[in-house]
Amino acid sequence: MMPIIEAGAGEKLQRPALPTAEACTLVIFGASGDLTRRKLMPALYDLCNTGCTSACFDVLGTGRTPMTDEEFRRSLHDAAATSKDIRGFDEEKWAKFAARLHYLVGDPAKPDFFGQMKARLEAMQAKGSSANTLFYVSTPASLAGEIIDGLAAAGLNRNEKGWARIVLEKPFGHDLSSARALNERVLKVFDEANVYRIDHYLGKETVQNILVFRFANSIFEPVWNRNFIEYVEITAAETLGVERRAAFYEETGALRDMVANHILQLVALTAMEPPVAFDADSVREQKVQVFRSIRPMSVEEVAANTVRGQYGAGTIKDEAAPGYREEPGVKKDSRIETFAAVRLNIENWRWAGVPFYLRTGKRLGASLTEIRVHFRRTPQSLFAGTDQASYGPNMVSLRIQPNESISVSFGAKRPGSHMDTVPVEANFSYADAFGGQAPVAYETLILDAMRGDATLFTRRDEVEAEWRIITPIEEAWAKLPPPEFPNYAAGADGPEASGKLLAANGHEWMPIGQLEARKTNAD
Bridge partners of 356, per DSSP, are 232, 344
Q: Is the pLDDT of residue 66 over 80?
A: yes
- Average of per-residue pLDDT across 52-69: 92
Instruction: Give the closest residue to 374 by CA, choosing from 423, 413, 339, 304.
Output: 423
In the chain, count H helices and then E strands. Answer: 17, 19
List the beta bridge partners of residue 103.
61
Confidence class for position 523, pLDDT limits 50, 70, 90: very low
Domain 25-169: top CATH class: alpha beta
Is 262 designated active site?
Answer: yes
Answer whether residue 298 shows pLDDT above 90: yes
Give CA separation, 133 vs 127, 213, 436, in Å: 15, 35, 32
- CA separation for the pair 358, 255 (Å, rounded): 10
- What letter represents residue 129's amino acid? S
Residue type, 74: R
Of residues 262, 374, 418, 507, which has the active-site annotation? 262
Return the amino acid letter for 261: N
- Split at pLDDT 50, 70, 90, the class of 278 is confident
Q: How far apart are CA 197 and CA 412, in angstroms?
A: 45
Higher local confidence (pLDDT), 161 or 367: 367
Superfamily of domain 202-522: Dihydrodipicolinate Reductase; domain 2 (3.30.360.10)
pLDDT band at 106 (very low <50, low <70, confident <90, very high): very high
> What's the whole-number mean pLDDT along residues 299-328?
96
Which is more confidently placed, 169 or 254? 254
pLDDT at position 2: 47
* Per-residue model confidence (pLDDT) at position 7: 46
Most confident range (mean pLDDT) of 155-159, 280-284, 324-328 is 324-328
For the chain, the average pLDDT equals: 89
Which one is predicted more confidently, 90 or 436?
Answer: 90
| H/E segment holding residue 501 | helix 496-503
Highest mean pLDDT among 253-262, 383-392, 420-429: 253-262
**In this predicted model, what pLDDT tens digit does every residue of 183-217 receive, in sequence order?**
999 999 999 999 999 988 888 877 888 999 999 99
Give the least confident one: 195-204, 223-232, 419-428. Answer: 419-428
Domain ranges of the chain: 25-169, 202-522
Residue 386, pLDDT > 80, answer no
pLDDT band, residue 96 (cuts 50/70/90): very high
Q: Helix (H, G, I), strand (E, B), or coil: what is residue 388?
A: coil
